[in-house]
Amino acid sequence: MEGYGLEASGLPAAVVVSGRRLQTQNASVYTGLTHNPVSVPPSIYFAVTYGASLHDHEKVLGTPGLPAAFPLDHN
């Protein structure tokens, strides 16, 4: 399921990265990260191990000309 977007009713949108679930609060971030969204039941959503959450309004970490980074809430 690598690279797929997971959509489950009542749960945050998520993208599968390195076999883990990266959850996002912002739909535009989610659609920018995946072009393969799939609707799944919660049982499938939770079958993918939680990896991290990207919250709205996080400060971008980085310097000009280099890739940006965002702080994540992770396990």
The H-assigned helical ranges of the chain are 27-33, 42-47
Indicate the pTM of the whole model. Answer: 0.74
Token reading at 31: 């659609």
Q: Report helix, strand or coil for 51.
A: strand
- Mean pLDDT across the chain, nearest whole number? 84
At 10, the pLDDT band (50, 70, 90 cuts) reads very high
pLDDT greater at residue 74 or residue 55:
55
Q: Taking 60 as the threshold, does the pLDDT of residue 75 lie above it?
A: no
pLDDT of res. 42: 97
| 58 vs 47: CA distance, rounded Å | 27
Amino acid at 42: P
Which residue has tokens 């993208």?
15
45 pLDDT above the threshold of 90: yes
Architecture of the domain delimited by 5-74: 2-Layer Sandwich (3.30)
Q: What is the pLDDT of residues 25-40, one digit of tens each?
A: 888 878 888 889 999 9
Domain map of the chain by residue range?
A: 5-74
